[in-house]
Amino acid sequence: MTRAVLRNTQGSPTKVRLVLNMIRGLDVTEAREVLRFSQRGAAVEVAKLLDSAVANAEHNDHIPSDELYISATWADEGATAKRFRPRARGRGTRIRKRTSHVTIVVDRYSDEELRRRSVREESSGTGAATERRRRLSRGRRVAASTAAEAHDHDHDHDHESDEVVDETPVAVADDVAAEVDAVHSTGDEHSDVADADADEDATDEPGGSSKGEQ
């Protein structure tokens, strides 16, 4: 058996016992679910105390949490702080701020009970072993999917690289040829224009044609 004690927590023992009665006899997983959805204020502190008891069992006694159950719980009355509130006609009313000492004891299931629980969980498809297998299979599926995506990405990258290497020289050669053709055509046009200008200058010279005829 492993226990955890919380002393001088705010709240009367009566209110804390209402929460403790809900989790007494349950296993750790069920008790945590009950405390999680409980609407009572003491459930928060009781949940922290339960986590402390489970941690003590795992660290000190080396007992897995899925083999533990809550064997005993109780709440004792702690110190009471007395305050006064002013009322009518100069009177004062006493206010009692109560505290509690809460104790939770966890224990390991017997081997026979663990065997029955394992068979029941296997038949219903629930339990820690089934959950571990599901997580393992899911992890394997995720790893296989990630490896396949990485392989496809590398293959696509290699294919794109091959296409770029094959098409780049052709594109560059085409661009160079187009530029050379443009330069030649521009040079031809300039030469034609120069010849036409020279002919016009020769024709416009004064007496040019008459000297040739004479």
Strands (E), 22-111: 68-86, 92-108
39 pLDDT higher than 70 = yes
**Quick check: 75 and 20 in contact, CB under 8 A?**
yes
Out of 22-31, 32-41, 43-52, 185-194, least confident range: 185-194
CA 134 to chain centre: 19
Domain boundaries, the chain: 2-109
pTM over 0.75: no
- pLDDT, tens digit (0-9, with 9 covering 90-100), for 124-153: 765 555 556 666 666 677 788 888 888 777
As a whole-number percent, the residues of the chain with pLDDT over 90 amount to 47
Give per-residue burial for 7-42: e unless 16+ CB within 10 Å, then b.
eebebbbeebbebbebbbeebbeebbebbeebeeeb
56 has pLDDT over 80: yes
pLDDT greater than 70 at residue 9: yes
Considering the domain 2-109 in this protein, what is its CATH number?
A: 3.90.470.10
Q: Mean per-residue pLDDT for 159-180?
A: 55
Asked if pLDDT for residue 48 goes beyond 60, the answer is yes
Give residue 176's pLDDT band: very low, low, confident or very high (50, 70, 90).
low
For residue 98, give every residue at least 6 positions away whose Cβ sits within 8 Å of its Cβ, in sequence order, or none. 11, 12, 13, 77, 78, 80
| Average pLDDT value for residue range 87-98 | 93
pLDDT of residue 79: 94
